[in-house]
Amino acid sequence: MCGLVAIYAYQHAALPVEREELRRIRDHMRLRGPDGHGEWLSADGRIGMGHRRLAIIDLDPRAAQPMTRANDRYVIVFNGEIYNYRSLRTELGRLGHEFRTQSDTEVILAAYQQYGSQMFAHLRGMYALAIFDQVEQRLLLGRDPFGIKPLYYADDGWTIRVASQVKALLAGGTISSAHEPAGLVGFLLTGSVPEPFTTHAGIRAVPAGSYVEVDAFGIRRIAMHSHLASLLHHTAPETLPRGALQERLRAAFADSVGAHLVADVPVGVFLSGGIDSAAVLALMREQSPNEIRSSTIVFEPFRGSELDESALAQSSADAYGATHTLRSVSNTELRDDLGALLAAMDQPSIDGINTWFAAKSCREQGLKVVNNGLGGDELLGGYPSFSTVPRWRRLAALPAALPGLGQLVRRISYPMLKQWRPHLIRAAGALELVDSLAGSYLLRRGLFMPFEIAGLIGPELTAAGLERLDIRQRLSASIQPDPGSDFARVTCLEASNYMRNQLLRDCDWASMAHSIEVRTPLVDWTLYQSLAGLIRSGNLARGKQLLAHAPRQPLPAAVVQRRKTGFAAPLTHSPWDSTVRIDVGESRFGVGMQSSPARNLAAYVWTAQGLPT
């Protein structure tokens, strides 16, 4: 895990790359890579690349970046891990390629030399990368299928600047800090910023599963190399009986967990009280006789409540022989860390607090790499949305189709609900939204409803943001082409939106703030490819029990039978101690906050990040 930067002055009249700007961007990301740093500038000064290294695979200094190949024709900076690099290295060796390191970075360069932009089909892992071809004067940017690793760019028509973090690009000092209405409105709608937008008008995300080609004329191509809905659409549905299904899942999960153990340093695990992380630990134990260190956090206000997962996590650690650490977080520590946490938050979000403290605990133990259970709910139907979103769409299909009825109901009910039942405000817009699956999903996942936002940030900013974002069309694109079933559609909606824009992004910034690499064995493109037919048919509905029985040694019964509660932090659950209570003062965001701690947190983050009101 690392931090990368690239600056390409592609326009012939553009100023050459300034070395100091390159370093400012790179070193803003020092916590992403405390083990080393490097830089490379072309002889003509048109392209510069920089890197901060967290050494995980091939710890030798020869594996440092930026790395060159083929007499310096190709130069790469790369963030992430390629889990199949050893087999890919063997394949490329048979094709005549030679290697001087044992790193996955060099294998990527050789793959690009051999396959060009088609190399992405050969990579298994999480990655964000930039490769420059000095002969073609072409810069390639690429990102893994699920967007596990972030990559952002700013193109002013003369020069393109690329980095692993939005705030790092801003630290370079040349990019405008003007806000992007679509990013602001997107945060209020969903609790995170929907890509490719950021909260800054001049900065965009490289879309997940895509690559960008830049030549002397600027951005020439943005193309997808992987798309979940397309994968499911083009895979025949498959249904298996229980026994065969269990065996298929066991093999698939074991394969993915095994791949995510590839490292030259110890790999630990974030352990909650749930099935997903416990199953990952169990499958790690089956494939590794080495010590496995696990870590669980407990917030002091939750001790002894249903939100305290420590006893269940300990039972899993004991069952699989993990060296377990229970890390307690006091109200005082939570309060004291808030400033640093918000500074590390690369884009506004209502998530990431748990990961911040879990990563902090792992760093205290001397770990660099951990697996977690993120993604199990999206793959195996663990969220209520798998049942509620299609059901709402079916039940409300007829009334929602009547012209003007939804708008009329909203106009009549919204003022009353706002005044007397603020916790039911979203119901005012139900008929307007449930005329499509994407709208039903927004109703289920939305933080603020579209009709509320003007009252928070004003009508002009709201109108511009809603138009540019076009949230329902953006959600609909997640299920085009048609994945084939309601289960598959909700899988795509969850994996391409909530998981990508919130869970994965927050996992990245919150863990990298402590120089911890987090891996996600249940978010793996090869895993999804192997199960695509089962996802399309809906055969994985209620599949969490199948995951629980994937290890040869079953999970503890108390873990399997536990009612799902989700992750929680005192900032989003009442009551919390007065020392860490969020205060939104007289802000317009204060309306109705008492009934929605998540909205309260959004208001606090908005204010702390200096966003416009």
CB-based contact 597:571 (threshold 8 Å) = yes
Enumerate the β-bridge partners of residue 511: none
Which token pair is 287?
């494939």
Whole-angstrom distance, CA of residue 510 vs CA of residue 403: 45
Q: Is 486 annotated as a binding residue?
A: no
Kindly tell me the burial class for residue 31, based on how many C-beta atoms sit within 10 Å of its own C-beta (0-12, 13-18, 19 or more). middle
Whole-angstrom distance, CA of residue 487 vs CA of residue 493: 10
- Dihedral, 472, 473, 478, 481 alpha carbons, nearest 10: 130
Angle among Cα 139, 143, 149 to the nearest 5 degrees reads 125
Angle among Cα 477, 481, 485 to the nearest 5 degrees reads 105
Enumerate the β-bridge partners of residue 343: none
Which token pair is 225?
């190399």
Cβ count near 213 (within 10 Å): 17
Whole-angstrom distance, CA of residue 39 vs CA of residue 54: 15
Whole-angstrom distance, CA of residue 38 vs CA of residue 556: 47
User: Quick one: three-class SS letters along 141-155?
Assistant: EEECCCCCCCCEEEE
Whole-angstrom distance, CA of residue 264 vs CA of residue 81: 12
Phi, psi of 566, deg, nearest 5: 80, 170
| 2 is annotated as an active-site residue | yes
Task: Check the CA dihedral 439-440-446-451 and report its sign.
Answer: positive
Whole-angstrom distance, CA of residue 459 vs CA of residue 185: 11
| Residues whose CB is less than 8 angstroms from the CB of residue 273 and which lie 6 or more positions away in sequence, other chains included | 296, 309, 310, 311, 312, 313, 316, 559, 562
Report the relative pairing of strands 293-299 and 323-329 from DSSP bridges: parallel
Q: In what order do the strands lie in the sheet with 210-215?
A: 67-69, 74-82, 125-133, 138-143, 210-215, 218-224
Catalytic residue, from 2, 362, 492, 507: name it: 2
Report which secondary-structure segment, H or E, holds 529. Answer: helix 525-537
- Collapse the DSSP code of 562 into the 3-class scheme (helix H, G, I; strand E, B; otherwise coil) and give the result: coil
Cβ count near 129 (within 10 Å): 29
Task: Check the CA dihedral 359-365-370-375 and report its sign.
Answer: negative
Residues tagged in the binding site annotation for L-glutamine: 104
Catalytic residue positions, numbered: 2
Could you tell me which residues are annotated as the binding site?
104
